[in-house]
Every structure is written in structure tokens, then in C-alpha cells.
Structure 1
Amino acid sequence: MEALFICSKCGQPFESKWPASVRSRLKKNGAVYCSKACYATKHGAWSNESKYHSEYKSWVAMKGRCSNPGCSHYERYGGRGITYEKGWNDFNEFLKDMGPKPDRKMELDRIDNDGNYCKENCRWATRKEQTRNRGGRRATRLYTFEGKTMCISDWAAEVGISPQSMQKRLNNNWPLEKAFSKERHDKKGSTHVKPKDQN
């Protein structure tokens, strides 16, 4: 039976008979290689010792999501027509366009969730930034006030209240100047005034 695999070194998909032919390719760490040349390469951007190992893993994952129907996330990417620019078949070209990750915990993110993977539409983003940028029913609404554009959770942190409280303010149709004000308000949006000391 023919099965589709992704080479752990070059990231290229390849077909091989399962399980007979793959047994000879499969290594103890679960890696599988499309050729002896890929397996023989012990140094480079893909090795654990390389400073670009994290970027390489993101590159391989991107290619799998777009071109491997066996990938668990293929339906959300390649399955709906998302692909990557041809030059990014080469890891070195990908790294030249994207540059190193500013932080190793960052992940490859598309700015436009309906666009392809390319230099103009990709960035290194934190998990929090990725969550805000997700499309579909989980899309995040942004609010602009006094030159700042932020989501509800960020406005809540700015004001000093919980995201739930901020959501209630907006659901109750508070004007933005009151909803995003750092002054204390009652449930109707009126400014809370501290009573004067009585003598």
C-alpha cells in the first residue's frame, strides 16, 4: 500500500510502500527521510544543534499543512486552497525572507487568514497574537479610541478591569469614552463620585 510521508530533513512529501519500504527509512526518533542523501546530512538548519532549528521546524510544518493531506491541519489550509510561494520550497529562501525568530517561542503567522504563505503576508508572532488574528467565528473585534486600536482584553488591561467587565460595558452600549475610561462608573455608566467627608 502506498502512503504519503513528509521528509524530516528537506520537508518534501514522498510516497512509499507501507510498511515494508518505510521500515528501512524510519529512525528511532520517529524521523523518516525521502533519500539516503537527506539522512546522511547531519549538519545544517534542520539539526538540533543549529541556531535555526526552530525556524526549520516552522517551515516543515507550513509545508505539511499546505501539501500533505495526511496532516491533521490540512483541511484548514491546503484543503481550502492555502499554499505557499514557490521560492519557499527552499528553506534558505524562506529564512532569507522571514529572518530568524525574534523569540524561539514565536510561530509562523499569516496576517490575512485567507491569504497564502508569502513574505508579504507572514510574520513571526506570539501565541497570543496568533489567537487574536484567527479568522472565522473566533475572529477578534478591535476597538479604536483616542488613536489606539486594541481588542477587549487589552482595553480591559489598560483600564484596570476584567475582560468580562469590559464586555458588559460594551454590551450595555456605553459610549467608548466612558467604557475605556479609567474612572470608576456604576452599572449605568455614570461616573462614581467619592462622597465628601461629613463634619
Structure 2
Amino acid sequence: MVKFIQDTEIKQYGKRGYMFALFQCPICDKVFERPKHAGKNLIACRECAYKVLRVKRLKHGQRYTRLYRTWINMRSRCNNLREQHFKHYGAKGIKVCPEWDNFEVFKQFALENGYTDSLTIDRVDVTKGYDPTNVQFVPLKINAGKDKVVISEKLYFEIKKANKEEHILLPVLFAKYGVSGGAYYNARNRYE
């Protein structure tokens, strides 16, 4: 923390006046003036503080890599209530293992287990969270196809018939047969 030396003067900013004071930087011993209320919380002068914070923030240099975005998105899906896909992950109890809160640990795991920029992260058991025993890296085509439910032609026409002849609403039929609206409409495009 900076060392308080003495009060200097009150300076007017808009309708308010602020007491200014002299402080001494603990790193370079430079004496500088700042508003007294703000100076109490400073760690150093501007130049030294910038250097210290810059070194602290530069941890891995991976911010703009695909793997880093994968890590950020994985954690956001599980932890951020405002994230668009939280309802499919965090709200269902899917969690990221605590050791993966550190990007370097996650990166080491990924590289040791075949990660390349052409692969996506995939949970082997979709009911379990993200941890080293339940994660693999696969091509997007395989990962995207895992969640797709394909309705048989027979089931599609059975649902269609119940909707037309018995006047049962489609959402009720989707719930009864355990299919999604998207799967039904994909089947309609496929079979008609």
C-alpha cells in the first residue's frame, strides 16, 4: 500500500470538493498527489501499479485460443444463471470438477487426451458432469448427432393420425410418446 505523507489542498470538481494528499509509492519511492479518499486504497503509483497488475493478469496467454473458449463456455453453461444454455446444464446439476477451475490443469488434460482445434468437448455420460473420467474430444459431427432423436416412420404416422382423427394437440402427443417437436418436424420433412 502507498504511504500517506500529508494533506495538500481541497480542489473543486463540479459541485464537490475533494481533499488531496501526497502519497509515496512503495515500489519506486516516487511522491504523487491523489484525492485522499482514493489514495488510501492504492497499491502503488500509476506506473508501478500498471506493471504489477499487468504481470498478475498475464497468466497463460491463451485467451484467444479455441481451447480457452471451450473452457470458458463449459464453465459458463454450468455456473452462469444468465447463460443461454444453463437450463440444459447447470440447472440439471451438471457441474465442472473443481480442479478444472484452473485453465492450466484443463489444458494439460485436453492436450494429453488428444485435443485438437477440430474436435469438441463431449461428455460420455450425459447425466454426469465435466470431469476427467467423463470427458472425451470428438468431431462436431459425432457430438451434434448424439442428442438427435430419430422418429420411426411408423411412430410419425401414428402421432399424425392421433392429431388429425382424435384431435389431440401435438404437444400432448409429444409428451405421451416422449419425443420433441423438433424430432417430429424433422420426421415430417423426412417422410412426407
Q: TM-score per shorter chain, which class?
A: 0.3 to 0.5
TM-score by length of 1: 0.44
Give 1 or 2: higher helix fraction: 2
Structure showing the higher strand proportion among its residues: 2
Question: Which one has a bigger Cα radius of gyration?
Answer: 2
